[in-house]
Amino acid sequence: MSDVAVQEGELVGELVGEVAAPAASDLWSALRRRTQARIGLGRAGSALPTRHRLELQAAHAAARDAVHSPFAPDVIAAALPGTPTVRVRSTASDRLTYLQRPDLGRRLDPVDRAHLPTGEWDVVFVVADGLSSRAVHEHAAVVVRETTARLGGWNVAPVVLAEQARVALGDDVAHAMGATMAVVLIGERPGMSAADSLGAYLTHRPVPGTTTDADRNCLSNIRPPRGLSYERAAAKLAALMVRARDLGLTGVGLKDDSAEEEARESLL
């Protein structure tokens, strides 16, 4: 029997033990502890109960706020004392344009490109607002600090703070600065259960307009305590970066084996 099957069996056994009580409310309570999804909410007539309806409306408002809240690069810079930073914008002139024209969010403003420092950098970290400035403000600086602390001997470029930016903007930044790798920390699209989720996208030798999503590795849902912790995210990201440098690639050819290793260790 595989390790995964063993773990699934243990989880099912544990869950069955939790829901042994006959009451349906006990069943749903046990299930809710296993997921952030909205399940077993019940109904009042043909609609949701008032409490759950209000919770849903509040979650929707939080998601909208996350998308439209302005990016504050000063917040990131202040959380990275002693770390040089550079501020850039995409060619999307405002938030509405950014949302309507994704292609403009992938291109670096020509004026800002001309002011980027150049060098023989091993990696450049790009902190981008994406679709949730809240996620970036709350989590990005810690992930940068935790990851760089694990990169002994690496030549790390100044951190680039990018406004109205999408993931592919990191390709343009790395290419302009002469960095071998780009790590884009970006606010992910808010859902109805998470408006503060941070994603990390790693790309080896990106080429603007040519590199595709298949050439990247992604860590998503970085948002402790309900998502990936800073320590695990940094450890996974740093390990991927080291392997990417050794193999000379990222994307579908680079596999994250950490989950399988953790599962094996938990069974020892």
Taking only the tens place, the pLDDT of each residue in 25-54 is: 678 778 877 777 777 777 788 888 888 788
Give the C-alpha separation, 56 to 123, whole Å.
41
| Helices within the chain (DSSP H only) | 3-18, 24-32, 50-68, 73-78, 95-100, 110-114, 133-135, 141-148, 169-177, 230-247, 258-267
What confidence tier does 23 reach under pLDDT thresholds 50, 70, 90?
A: low
Q: Is the pLDDT of residue 6 over 80?
A: no
Name every residue whose Cβ is closer than 8 Å to that of residue 231 and which is 6 or more positions away in sequence.
146
Query: What are the tens digits of pLDDT across the range 116-134?
Result: 999 999 999 999 999 999 9
Whether residue 89 has pLDDT greater than 90: yes
The better pLDDT of the pair 12, 51 is held by 51
Q: Minimum mean pLDDT among 22-31, 38-47, 75-84, 165-174: which range?
A: 22-31
| Encoded tokens for 195 | 């408006």
Contacting residues for 138 by C-beta, under 8 A, at least 6 apart: 196, 198, 223
pLDDT value, residue 262 = 53
Looking at residue 54, its pLDDT comes to 81
Contact 126, 157 (CB under 8 A): no
Phi/psi region, residue 62 (left: phi>0; alpha: psi -120 to 50; beta: rest), is: alpha
Q: Of the candidates 116, 208, 221, which has an alpha carbon nearest to the alpha carbon of residue 169?
A: 208
Residues 130-149 have a mean pLDDT of 96
Torsion of CA 204, 207, 210, 215, to 10 degrees: 10
11 exposure class (CB count in 10 Å sphere: 0-12, 13-18, 19+): exposed
The values of phi and psi at residue 95, to 5°, are -65, -40
pLDDT tens column, 175-221: 999 999 999 999 998 877 788 999 999 999 999 999 999 999 999 99
Reference 183, options 128, 256, 259; nearest CA is 128
d(CA 158, CA 119): 10
Report how far residue 226's alpha carbon sits from residue 176's, in angstroms, rounded to the nearest whole number: 36
Q: Which of the two residues, 262 and 82, has the higher pLDDT score?
A: 82
pTM, full prediction: 0.81
Stretch 7-19: mean pLDDT: 47
Whether 93 shows a pLDDT value over 60: the answer reads yes
In sequence order, which residues have a C-beta less than 8 Å from that of residue 177 and are 6 or more positions away?
A: 116, 117, 118, 119, 121, 124, 157, 160
Q: Rounded to whole angstroms, how far apart are CA atoms 167 and 201? A: 7
